Amino acid sequence: MAQLGFAEFGNVDVMFTLTPNTGTSVELITNAKVVPAYFTNLLPNILSVDISTEEISGSIYLYTQTVYNGETYDKCKYEISEVATNELNIRIFMYDEYLTVYCNDILVYSYAFHSIEYTDPITLTLKIKGDTTTISDICWRELSDSREAVYVDYEATTENAIQSIIQQRPIEINPEVGRGMSFTWDATKDEIQASYIKTFSDGEQDNSQLSSDGIVYYANVGVSINEQVAKEVGFITRMYRLSELTVGALTAAGKYQTSALQKRHSLSSEASRIDPRIESRDILILDLIATGTNRHIEERIIVEDVYISLQDGSCRTTVSGRKENG
């Protein structure tokens, strides 16, 4: 039988836009194992959250249901204003043993489980049931923070403020158009086929961040193993101190290991044309035959730096980055 009180720290934060259609529902299915409120001595059930709309006496209502293994344990309705019936911005947010649902930035549903266990990794599936409807702008926040707010000292510098917010996650900061910045730890943009390539270089260098076996200190202690590093470089241990993380620490350590292996291969290419398509975080695909040796080069570069020059009628685009597959 289930041992009660096994709630683990964790969170799920999913947002999407829903076009309401009576008789149709959208279900978010997770592999989080929960014991419902007011229940004891139960085996943990797989959780899903069901969102639907219904028209009653000329009014539109949003229904939210908490479902365990296909059985509804809790249900709540919220009346939607007329101006909001065309599109609904839905957010499903789970924090530890609590579940909240927002509709157009208004909290419309809240539920507390008896206990919950988050698996690693947590998986999410969106499923439409009934007639056809439209869901768009689906977003699962990779940088989601369980806390409802982050407070930063008004005298803190910008760099310290950013570090306070992102904490110890393996964040990469990339420049955006309009002097903006993007924060990610795994996302890439477009795949771009390289053209007019003049030169290509592949440098291999030692990286002090490499590890095949990482010892991870967070709210618990764990081990993150990267078999590819062990195959290419050998047995290397490294300690990752992620004391401020209570969930996702092993995933974060795995990202550190993958990124370090990718950066072991420093790739660069130079094109004899200006190519304004390329931005940081794009994947530049090279499929070349080297002159003289007839060597076939196939590489995928995660772009980190782009340099465009035009001088005395000579154009070039220089791209540098890391090997996608490590």
Q: Are residues 79 and 201 in the same domain?
A: no
Q: Are residues 19 and 134 in the same domain?
A: yes
Residue 317, pLDDT score: 93
Q: How confident is the model at residue 269 (pLDDT cuts 50, 70, 90)?
A: very high
In degrees and rounded to multiples of 5, residue 314 shows phi and psi of -100, 125
Distance CA 94, CA 102 (A): 11
Q: Are residues 102 and 196 in the same domain?
A: no
CATH assignment at residue 129 = 2.60.120.200
Rounded to the nearest 10°, the torsion over CA 170, 171, 172, 176 is 170
Q: Are residues 34 and 120 in the same domain?
A: yes
Q: Are residues 199 and 298 in the same domain?
A: yes
Q: What are the tens digits of pLDDT across the range 151-179? A: 556 656 666 666 666 767 777 877 777 77
Mean pLDDT of 15-37: 82
Q: Are residues 72 and 201 in the same domain?
A: no
Distance CA 109, CA 154 (A): 34
Number of domains in the chain: 2
Domain carrying residue 123: 11-140
Q: pTM of the predicted model, to two decimals? A: 0.55
Residue 286 in this model has a pLDDT that exceeds 80: yes
- Domain contains 52: yes
Residue 4, pLDDT score: 36
Nearest Cα to 297, choosing from 267, 255, 319, 272? Answer: 267
Residues facing residue 64 across a β-bridge: 51, 76
The two counts, helices (H) then strands (E), for the chain are 3, 22
Q: What are the tens digits of pLDDT across the range 103-154? A: 888 888 988 887 777 777 778 888 888 777 788 888 887 555 555 555 556 6
